[in-house]
Amino acid sequence: MPYPKGFLESRAVIKPGLYTVIPPEGRVINSLPGFEGCKLSIIASPKHGASFVQYVGTVEPGGKTTRPFVDEDGIESFLFVMDGDGSLSVTIKDQTETLTLGGYAFAPPESSVSFENTSAMPVRILLYKQRFVPLEDLRPWAVFGDINDTEEVIYDEMVNVFLRDLLPNDPAFDMNMHTLKFLPDGSHPFVETHVQEHGAYILGGQGMYLLGEDWLQVKKEDFIWFGPFTQQGTYATGREPFWYIYSKDMNRDATI
């Protein structure tokens, strides 16, 4: 790693329990058991207030899980191929699919994700895990998909903002993954304040984001964690669509 040019600087903002913004600069590669040929950074964990753990990183050709992710009862997980010209062979239980750019897989609790890059090119991925909150005897199921085959719908009657649901909107699921895209001049319809938390990874463009009482510039490759009841809203800036993939807890009541 070269010497810095000028002062040491960072756009990262860490406000435990409220929100975090983690740009790509300054991330470190974590040494993690269960992975080979993978360079992964942990970007969300309960240590700053999140109820989930999220990772971002690269799987080199031949890279793979050496044991299932996640090998623990009661934990559900999600994998998304962000970019790269390679492909991943992904297995959940007895189902194996090949995922390329835009592909994703969800493993329900009591199952896990295993993967291997059998191609000649690297791929970048997001990994996510959280503890499942049961509802009666309902149980979610394994899901494979591709955002390129998933229809975008107009968000809240705004013709320049588009939403994709990646997982079924079914009471058996206590979470979902979405993409939200703002065309130039697009924005949220209002400042949101809600119990759900989000983990959002920006896939393109740039925007101004209100987090709590702070307006911050964010752009492609930034990660944002939104704590429960943190005020949030955004509008796109620049000439390109501003869009991100994000997690959302849903279909469950608040506990006392």
Report the pLDDT value the prediction gives residue 143, as an integer from 0 to 100.
98
**pLDDT at res. 6:** 87
Residues 90, 81: contact at Cβ < 8 Å? no
* Three-state secondary structure call for residue 18: coil
| C-alpha span between 157 and 153 (Å, rounded) | 9
Position 9 scores a pLDDT of 87
For 99, the token pair is 């995922």
By three-state DSSP, how is residue 242 classified?
A: strand
CATH topology of domain 149-249: Jelly Rolls (2.60.120)
> 19 φ, ψ to 5°?
-165, 160
Could you tell me what percentage of the chain is helix, strand and coil, using 3-state DSSP and rounding each to the nearest 5?
Answer: 0, 55, 45
Give the C-alpha separation, 231 to 211, whole Å.
6
Q: Are 98 and 88 in contact (CB under 8 A)?
A: yes
* Matching residue, tokens 């070269």: 2
| Residues in the chain, overall count | 256
Q: Are 254 and 195 in contact (CB under 8 A)?
A: yes
Report the topology of domain 27-146: Jelly Rolls (2.60.120)
Task: Sort 85 into a burial class: Cβ within 10 Å, 0-12 / 13-18 / 19+.
Answer: exposed
Q: How far is it, in rounded angstroms, from Cα 223 to Cα 199?
A: 7
- pLDDT tens digits, 152-182: 999 989 999 999 999 999 999 999 999 999 9
Residue among 100, 107, 97, 62 at smallest CA distance from 82: 100
Summarize pLDDT for 123-159 with one digit per residue, the tens: 999 999 999 999 999 999 999 999 999 999 999 899 9
Percent of the chain with pLDDT over 90: 91
The token duo for 68 is 């299932």
Q: What is the mean pLDDT of the chain?
A: 95
Which residues have a Cβ under 8 Å from the Cβ of 98 and sit 6 or more positions away? 87, 88, 89, 90
Q: What is the pLDDT of residues 188-204, one digit of tens each?
A: 999 999 999 999 999 99
For the chain, give every residue range classified as CATH 2.60.120.10.
27-146, 149-249
Given a cut of 80, is residue 255 above it in pLDDT?
yes
